[in-house]
């Protein structure tokens, strides 16, 4: 499966970033891969938690998918895999990981996406698009962290 990563140093401690990244209401504002996002299930029982995404596809066209946690270890790491998707889904398999490592007064944030496209011949093109989306999302997260810090 193709694997795409993006990394950025953000001048905020891991705990503060984790709080921002985990807020469902803020997610569409910084994560370019998400148009809508919500979480259902019992917070204390990760086996019941489901993550519901609406993701942009092309133009105004979107696709929906449902994810489940593979790993949940705040504030250092979380991984999610797609368990179902709408008929417009571009992937047979999809998994994403956030890795946060403290560095000085900030955090190195790494995002990783692994995928299997429904159309194998588009994997290289999709990898480039996903890379740009991950890098743009980390830039937006950095800007959000700066705004939240200024608000304090």
Task: Give the chain's largest Cα–Cα span.
Answer: 48
> Tens of pLDDT along 97-126?
999 999 998 999 999 999 999 998 999 999
- CA-CA distance, 62 to 53, in Å (whole number)? 10
> Tens of pLDDT along 9-63?
999 999 999 999 999 999 999 999 999 999 999 877 888 999 999 999 888 899 9
Angle, in degrees to the nearest 10, between helices 14-22 and 123-151? 110
Whether this prediction's pTM lies above 0.75 is answered by: yes
Q: Is the pLDDT of residue 152 over 80?
A: no
pLDDT at 43: 76
């Amino acid at each position: 499966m193709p694997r795409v990563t993006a990394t950025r140093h953000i001048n905020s401690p891991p705990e503060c970033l984790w709080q921002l990244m985990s807020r469902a209401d803020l997610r569409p504002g910084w994560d370019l891969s998400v148009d809508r996002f919500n979480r259902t299930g019992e917070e204390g029982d990760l086996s019941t938690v489901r993550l519901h995404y609406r993701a942009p596809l092309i133009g105004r066209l979107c696709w929906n998918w449902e994810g489940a946690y593979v790993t949940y270890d705040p504030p250092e790491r979380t991984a999610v895999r797609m368990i179902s998707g709408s008929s417009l889904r571009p992937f047979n398999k999809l998994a994403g990981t956030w890795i946060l490592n403290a560095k000085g007064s900030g955090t190195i944030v790494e995002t990783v996406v692994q995928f299997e496209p429904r159309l194998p011949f588009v994997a290289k093109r999709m990898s480039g698009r996903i890379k740009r989306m991950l890098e743009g999302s980390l830039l937006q997260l950095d800007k959000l962290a700066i705004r939240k810090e200024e608000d304090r």
